[in-house]
């Protein structure tokens, strides 16, 4: 049987808005699509990366479901020759650019994605292990990207095993990506390590990160106010001196202007030392493409 409470809450939140659903053909997205199969204002987007020999099976599963339930489907098929370098980053960029194209084509108001509690926990652990600075651990339930409103209705509801059980109960056909079990990516390694601990231990880890996020949210509200004050002063360097939240302000500044620049606590500290140094005019290398420029005690963005 399906989860009627979740379905009812989901339908209320969607309020008959035009919805785009990202569907890979895996159990998570197929379960979400199953819940929405009778929702009339829906479009499905599927990306076939042609990375695995059996990737056409994923596409066919999505096609068959959409055909059966008369759901509009858009498919992007990529040539496997593009798979060089960081596949996950390239795939993510291609996927979201495609979502944006379809989102605009059908004048959608929400992009629905099927991330669940395991995805949240894996991401949180990756962030923690990398020591990268962030105002939020894990994946957010809602956010905006490329001017799309993104909503993940399963993120704080189900663990992966619970979704698999619901797929079984409802006889939902789905594809299995065998590469998920291989330790070829950091996420896969973390995913496989989480399989070795009990559900109680996973719940405790999950609750720990939720608690951290609640604390960080309070801090972020304070920082947002201070950031606006700093912005009003044209990002004067002197504003940071003797400022308790200087690390958080620098993180927000860089994140807002250089989205792809990765920040560790050490890097933020180095940026701070650069900014408050006696040199009135100089520049700091953020990465191979971006520099932070200080000119007459003001921060200039290149």
Q: Binding site for ATP: which residues?
A: 24-29
Q: Which residues are annotated as a binding site?
A: 24-29
Contacts for 243-251 with beta carbons within 8 Å, 24 or more apart?
A: 245/219, 246/272, 247/133, 247/272, 248/135, 248/219, 248/220, 248/223, 249/223, 250/275, 251/133, 251/134, 251/135
Q: In this structure, how many other beta carbons lie within 10 angstroms of the beta carbon of residue 251?
A: 21
Angle between helices 27-35 and 160-169 (to 10 degrees): 60
Q: Give helix then strand counts, H and E, for the chain.
A: 10, 9
Measured CA to CA in angstroms, residue 133 lies from 153, 267, 291 at distances of 26, 9, 19
């Amino acid at each position: 049987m399906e989860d009627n409470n979740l379905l009812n809450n989901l339908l209320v939140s969607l309020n008959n808005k035009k919805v785009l659903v990202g569907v890979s053909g895996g159990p998570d997205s197929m379960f979400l699509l199953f819940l929405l199969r009778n929702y009339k204002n829906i479009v499905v987007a599927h990306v076939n990366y042609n990375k695995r020999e059996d990737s056409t099976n994923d596409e066919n599963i999505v096609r068959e479901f959409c055909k059966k339930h008369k759901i509009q489907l858009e498919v992007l098929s990529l040539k496997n020759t593009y798979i060089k370098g960081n596949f996950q980053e390239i795939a993510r960029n291609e996927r979201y650019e495609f979502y944006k194209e379809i989102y605009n084509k059908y004048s959608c108001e929400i992009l629905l994605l099927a991330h669940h509690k395991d995805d949240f926990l894996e991401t949180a652990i990756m962030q923690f292990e990398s020591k990268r600075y962030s105002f939020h651990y894990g994946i957010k339930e809602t956010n905006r990207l490329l001017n799309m409103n993104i909503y993940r209705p399963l993120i704080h509801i189900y663990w992966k095993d619970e979704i698999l059980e619901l797929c079984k109960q409802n006889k939902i056909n789905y594809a299995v990506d065998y590469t998920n079990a291989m330790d070829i990516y950091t996420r896969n390694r973390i995913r496989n390590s989480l399989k070795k601990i009990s559900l109680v231990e996973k719940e405790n880890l999950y609750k720990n990160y939720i608690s951290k996020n609640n604390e960080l949210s309070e801090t972020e509200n304070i920082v947002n106010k201070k950031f606006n004050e700093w912005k009003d002063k044209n990002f004067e360097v002197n504003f940071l001196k003797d400022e308790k939240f200087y690390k958080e302000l620098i993180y927000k500044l860089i994140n807002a202007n250089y989205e792809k620049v990765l920040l560790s606590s050490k890097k933020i500290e180095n940026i701070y030392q650069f900014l408050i140094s006696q040199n009135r005019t100089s520049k700091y290398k953020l990465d191979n493409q971006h520099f932070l420029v200080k000119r007459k005690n003001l921060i200039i963005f290149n």
